[in-house]
Copies of this chain bind each other. A is one copy, B any other.
């Protein structure tokens, strides 16, 4: 059993069904009935009027969101370990036409309102220095931690005070929602978030993510940027249908609940071995090379994160039941 990445998992059966159901003639690009239904459906989920665009990757969602919030000569404050900084090969710089990522520190890849305020205070207000225009947070973070609505709201307030837009990279937004128990609205726009990369692929989807704008006017230019980037797929209904299927009957929450549940089971078994609290579907464990080899010998595979540390990522199909053998093996180390 492999715990490398939630991107390695297969897609859940509802997604394949949705593709089959959508397999009929309709209008190209995003003129089809599925794409046209997205705004309304997402507005229900978020209890406010939003604009929602499908895109084929989380990197695309993030980069388009940042381009909507930050001009080429501006900067985006984010954590030093953020996916947008470390794992997107400069996509934010490409889409924003050269904005600068301004790196903040913080435990577990989380940033704070205070870190934002302090960083801004060090920037001279003149044309020689890049001025920040936006903040980006990842929820759940790259280390599997989550933000509470209050934490996001504090960041949102700090951003607003300085006139900065707020983006949330929600590649694992579902896992964060499930853990927090908060509503999607409370975790986002009510806390000051302007744009959300709402991830579905890591959560059992195939190749559709949503970019949700809580300030609907931001969507207009983004529609052109999406096309211009080659991201407006010509048979868009196969993306929109995935997202709608995920939202139907709260499949997105069920899938995330399963993965989070599997992670919790491992966390309990791991005890003192945990590097970070487990709040989503990622588990970072202290494990010696010998211990890691032992687990692999039992048929479990995962990522060597750092010397003496391994990372396990749980997928929608790796709930409590599925991972119990691994939990037992970890407990027995």
| A residues whose Cβ falls under 8 Å from a Cβ of B | 2, 4-5, 7-11, 16, 19-20, 23-29, 55-64, 71-73, 75, 86-91, 93-101, 127-131, 201-202, 206-207, 221, 223-235, 238-239
Residues of B within 8 A of A230 (CB): 55-64, 88, 91, 95, 229, 231
Q: Given known contacts A19-B19, A63-B230, A201-B234, is B98 in contact with A128 (CB within 8 Å)?
A: no
Assess whether A89 is in contact with B235, with CB atoms less than 8 Å apart: no
3 closest A-B pairs by CB:
A60-B230, A93-B98, A7-B28
Q: Given known contacts A11-B23, A207-B239, A232-B127, is B5 in contact with A224 (CB within 8 Å)?
A: no
Assess whether B234 is in contact with A202, with CB atoms less than 8 Å apart: yes
Residues of B within 8 A of A227 (CB): 59, 88-89, 91, 127-128
CA–CA, A232 and B228, complex, Å: 16
Assess whether B127 is in contact with A89, with CB atoms less than 8 Å apart: yes
Assess whether A99 is in contact with B89, with CB atoms less than 8 Å apart: no
Q: Given known contacts A56-B56, A232-B59, is B207 in contact with A73 (CB within 8 Å)?
A: no
CA–CA, A235 and B16, complex, Å: 14
9 contacts between A and B (CB under 8 A): A55-B230, A57-B234, A89-B127, A89-B129, A89-B224, A89-B227, A91-B228, A94-B98, A206-B235
CA–CA, A223 and B223, complex, Å: 25
Residues of B within 8 A of A238 (CB): 11, 206-207
Chain B residue with Cβ nearest A15:
B23
- Nearest CB of B to A77, in Å: 15
CA–CA, A109 and B225, complex, Å: 27
Assess whether B99 is in contact with A7, with CB atoms less than 8 Å apart: no
CA–CA, A94 and B95, complex, Å: 9
Assess whether A89 is in contact with B72, with CB atoms less than 8 Å apart: no
CA–CA, A87 and B202, complex, Å: 32
Most buried by B among A62, A221, A233: A233
- Nearest CB of B to A237, in Å: 9
CA–CA, A99 and B95, complex, Å: 12
Q: Given known contacts A90-B98, A128-B87, is B23 in contact with A4 (CB within 8 Å)?
A: no
User: Quick one: which of B100, B202, B233 contacts A56, CB cutoff 8 A?
Assistant: B233
CA–CA, A96 and B90, complex, Å: 12
CA–CA, A229 and B55, complex, Å: 12
CA–CA, A24 and B201, complex, Å: 14
CA–CA, A235 and B224, complex, Å: 25
Given contact pairs A7-B28, A56-B231, A97-B97, a sample of 14 additional A-B residue pairs in the complex whose CB atoms are under 8 Å apart: A56-B233, A57-B230, A57-B233, A73-B89, A89-B127, A89-B128, A90-B98, A90-B100, A95-B230, A98-B98, A100-B101, A206-B238, A207-B235, A231-B231
